[in-house]
Amino acid sequence: MKAFVIATRWLIRVLAVVQVVLGVLFWTNNALTLISLHMTSGIVLVVALWIQAIIAARAGIGYTIPVLAFVWGGVVIALGMRQDSLLVGDLHWLIQVLHLIVGLTAVAQAEALAGRTLRRLRPVAAAAAY
């Protein structure tokens, strides 16, 4: 399970970099043909967050943070799908900043889940070696 947590963590990290790079390109009005890639990789990132949350809950870290991660993932997807229609005009940059913050918060949650899970699994693995 430890290897799966680490692999999921790295998948989320790579997807986060892809998301930010594409987001900056879109913000500067470039590479707009890649919006579907941005949306797809964002959904994959959220699914990976949810997987990380399930693993964390099963590892025994409690349910508060995993449930929050599930809810937050829904917020990420909802905001991402609707952001083009929110505050259209001169203030749309506020939605773009909000979208960035919400996405980065999801990545931070995934990191926290992975860290707590790995700390929780470490004693189990050490005890099993004896």
Interval 2-19 mean pLDDT? 97
Top pLDDT among 53 and 87 is at 53
Interval 6-30 mean pLDDT? 96
Q: pLDDT value at position 1? A: 87
Given a cut of 80, whether residue 114 has pLDDT beyond it is yes
pTM above 0.85, yes or no: yes
3-state secondary structure the chain: CHHHHHHHHHHHHHHHHHHHHHHHHHHCCCCHHHHHHHHHHHHHHHHHHHHHHHHHHHHCCCCHHHHHHHHHHHHHHHHHHHHHHCCCCCCHHHHHHHHHHHHHHHHHHHHHHHHHHHHHHHHHHHHHHC
pLDDT band per the 50, 70, 90 thresholds, residue 124? low
Phi-psi sector, 86: left (phi>0), alpha (psi -120 to 50), beta = beta
Interval 13-33 mean pLDDT? 96
Domain ranges in the chain?
Answer: 2-129
Q: pLDDT value at position 108? A: 98
Q: pLDDT value at position 122? A: 82
